[in-house]
Structure 1
């Protein structure tokens, strides 16, 4: 029987205006299975809005497709798409044991990778530090049994060692899925990504080298 799982996630024709201001226009990007697609852009450029539109949480003119089939509400299909938002999405009362059970994951594998998080499996997520909580949330989305994962600022508030471990984990998990990632740690995004887009002036631009970032005005000295 042919594999019915979509090999790519496509987003195009996306337009969003808020308070008479054009936030997104002429958006087009594609994320393939077994690859990492990076999205760069300055603060306020609309990166998080774009992620929410793709995931189906923000109404907008759009065409989101999985292998050529239009999907209106990706969040209703977690076996296909999962998403890490910038904010904490796991209820603070949920225990670590419950979180990992709900995602079908083994908490022992997590603590083996991040032994510095010494909280017990019965510890409520809300009792963790901000960084620890972010680490748990990022890990379960990366490891979730979906075909694509959207990661919005996955490295926020984490130590350099933790960021490096997550980067290695993402690369390993490309054996199972595709990733769309955005983060202000632009060097890490460039290093981990197979394909990179820059969001500027409400449009997406495909880039292939650091020189392209310079041409688009997205350089280490000028980004905000």
Structure 2
């Protein structure tokens, strides 16, 4: 089984250290949640792993394949950025045919949320509609590992719940690394939680640790714990 190994990632801007010797991993069938305060470097880390952001040093490997840049990761790693990335003036149906291999198209073309959008062009979609299309394209890409950077941004509560359940249903065939400003979304999806602070990445074994680290209040911890148990 392929594993995504991320090792010794370091990144600085001028004299400010963003990432310091970061290590993390993900295997197919697993969702890893990446949380941390705004500006902690979560998006930077995902961009480095995907290959669109330079690092001072990095080692990224999928199975036996060393990922030096985007071209080395084709078919292995895909990345959903925070901002919408689909081109305008083309229909959603065309985008699905453009981005997905034939074997993966049917599931998207026949989806109840996508079907009403097929004839629309990207610029005619609402922010919520654009995001759900992008999530489907990433989730059904042929990549073994998908990096989701704030995937639920702009989604309505109903669509957000649907997207979380949908991603969970695809876990058996892919590995996901997900970050979101709303940590409850991440906690719902993640099998493991990693916390990024001051350039260092820490594995969270118990959510109570996030209270100690000052990321979560005691009251919020109790609410999240109640949610997990329900």
Q: TM (normalized to structure 1)?
A: 0.89
Asked if residue 57 in structure 1 is aligned to residue 52 in structure 2, the reply is yes
Superposed CA RMSD in Å reads 1.8
Gaps of 5+ in 1: 1-5
Q: Which residue of 2 aligns with 1:118?
A: 116
Displacement, 1:66? 1.1
Q: After TM superposition, what 4+ stretches of structure 1 lie above 6 angstroms from structure 2? A: none
Displacement, 1:140? 1.1
Decide whether the 8 Å contact of 1:55 with 1:75 is kept in 2.
Answer: no
| Alpha-carbon separation, structure 2, partners of 1:94 and 1:202 | 40
- Out of 74, 83, 87, the position equivalent to 2:83 is 87
| Alpha-carbon separation, structure 1, partners of 2:194 and 2:213 | 11
| Alpha-carbon separation, structure 2, partners of 1:16 and 1:188 | 27
- Out of 76, 96, 112, the position equivalent to 1:100 is 96
Q: TM (normalized to structure 2)?
A: 0.86
Higher share in helix: 2
- Report how many aligned residue pairs link the two structures: 213
Gaps of 5+ in 2: 221-230
Secondary structure of the residue aligned to 1:90 is coil
Displacement, 1:212? 1.5
Decide whether the 8 Å contact of 2:6 with 2:24 is kept in 1.
Answer: yes
Displacement, 1:68? 4.9
Instruction: Please list the CA deviations of residues 28-74 of structure 1 after superposition, one character each: whole Å capped at 9, or x if unmatched.
Output: 11111101000001100011100000001011110111125421114
Decide whether the 8 Å contact of 1:57 with 1:75 is kept in 2.
Answer: no
